[in-house]
Amino acid sequence: MKILVIGGGGREHALAWKLAQSPKTHKIYIAPGNGGTALDCQFENINITDVQELRSWATTQKIALTVVGPEVPLAAGIVDEFRNHDLRIFGPSKAAAQLESSKAFSKAFMKRHGIPTADYETFSDPVAAHAYIDLKGAPIVVKADGLAAGKGVVVALTAAQAHEAVDFMLIDNTLGVSYNQGGARVVIEEFLSGEEASFIVMADGKNVLPLATSQDHKRLLNGDLGPNTGGMGAYSPAPIVTPDVHARAMREIILPTIRGMEKDGIPFTGFLYAGLMIDAHGHPKTLEFNCRLGDPETQPIMIRLKTDLVDVLMAATEPGSHGKLDEVELQWDRRTALGVVLAAHGYPLAHRKGDAIMGLPKDTEDAVVFHAGTSLNAGVLSTSGGRVLCVTVLADNVRLAQQRAYEVILGIRFDGMQYRNDIGHRAVKN
Ligand code: AMP
Ligand code: GLY
């Protein structure tokens, strides 16, 4: 089979790496891919990003299966476009992708279907938004509606910060709120405390298959301090997701979501990622939905997955009113997987490009370096994005996985390289 992976980050490299292990795979194309996928002769990078062009390329190439990594092509309707031309693709339709692309949509959906989440109101009028903040007080959370590449959420510890966020999002309208008809909107919601986890499942419109649990580290600096990033590291399993929390998340959040989408006439197919906040009593609430896999959570999850991913995706995309994920069982490596992101100078603000990368080790059974912001020019590998590499390892426990990952990192060099030294600290037993 010829398989197409859409995207070019660490998540897509990990997906392609796993798909390449299947005996059913003949060739894997990645659009646009990165320096790491260019280096590996199992893969071919395709330099197309436009959805229609990708579809017509896939038709000509007779691509048997496409899997989508990032949210932007999903929100642009890539799945509808491929399906309308009888191409098999795993991901949500544009309408279903609103669970991520519109906070107002997803909050209203959760309210309608009784799915636990923070109390909230939606505003397009700044005067009303300011009045609501005065009424509720701080801490309070202000979220831009629409995709904002991780910059759309302000956890305001003071009312002044919340007012400022409203002005930034509604009055200045600097956060070009894309995929959002009717202008800028904000969701203002209750602050939730607890510990976060990433709960990711696959859905085929009806059936749900949970992936292994995971947790990421969103802040730039050790101790979970500093600015938010796309994620500086992740690990799987996540001990915070006990069997009881897992059962609750499935029963109270995931299953009602898949059923609710079906009932609303927009069945959800694809990876569904619920960002959970788990309180001291082990009760999870939904912080947000993503309609895709997490990055970097995917890297540790894929290295633990033992089942043939091509089989799983074929079952999930079986033609008909829904797929056959009910016939699939996932097997996981019992070891802990941990991924540490190596980021470029300046990340998460304007990051530097073009630093030469040296000392990359050969991948082994228990240590793989997934690429993200790298490019290969005339045989030279250099940095080209904010998150550059994700060193992903397997070991018998979190502490050993940390040791192994940081050992591998010691050999890797590029100017301005930054990473956290404490990935996994929440999972280490004291
Ligand atoms: P989101 O993009 O909605 O997941 O928000 C990004 C981050 O902001 C989350 O990972 C949380 O750390 C934080 N956050 C979002 N909503 C809340 C909330 N209601 N209470 C506390 N923290 C939140
Ligand atoms: N690691 C968080 C995300 O993928 O959104």
CA of 229 to the centre of ligand 1 (A): 12
Is the distance from the beta carbon of residue 275 to the nearest atom of ligand 2 less than 6 Å?
Answer: no
pLDDT at residue 180 is higher than 50: no
Q: Report pLDDT digits (tens) over 200-209.
A: 999 999 999 9
CA distances from 345 to 233, 342, 373 (A): 17, 10, 12
pLDDT at residue 275 is higher than 90: yes
Which of the four pLDDT bands, split at 50, 70 and 90, describes residue 15?
Answer: very high
Average pLDDT of span 398-420? 98
Pairwise CA distance, residues 299 & 198, whole Å: 13
CA of 127 to the centre of ligand 2 (A): 32
Ligand 2 atom nearest residue 216's Cα: 1
Ligand 2 atom nearest residue 290's Cα: 5
Q: Global pTM?
A: 0.94
Pairwise CA distance, residues 116 & 306, whole Å: 32
Is the distance from the beta carbon of residue 98 to the nearest atom of ligand 2 less than 6 Å?
Answer: no
Ligand 1 atom nearest residue 152's Cα: 2
First-to-last C-alpha distance (Å) of the chain: 47
Which of the four pLDDT bands, split at 50, 70 and 90, describes residue 183?
Answer: low
Q: Report pLDDT digits (tens) over 68-117.
A: 999 999 999 999 999 999 999 999 999 999 999 888 899 999 999 999 99
Mean pLDDT of the chain: 94
Ligand 1 binding pocket (C-beta < 6 A) is: 118, 141, 143, 153, 155, 189-192, 196, 218, 275, 287-288
pLDDT at residue 240 is higher than 90: yes
Nearest to 376 by CA among 21, 41, 66: 41
pLDDT at residue 179 is higher than 50: no
Average pLDDT of span 141-158? 81
Nearest to 7 by CA among 40, 42, 36: 36
Average pLDDT of span 324-346? 98
pLDDT at residue 178 is higher than 60: no
pLDDT at residue 153 is higher than 90: no
What confidence score (pLDDT) does residue 321 get? 87
What confidence score (pLDDT) does residue 173 get? 58
Average pLDDT of span 155-178? 80
Pairwise CA distance, residues 304 & 193, whole Å: 30
pLDDT at residue 272 is higher than 60: yes
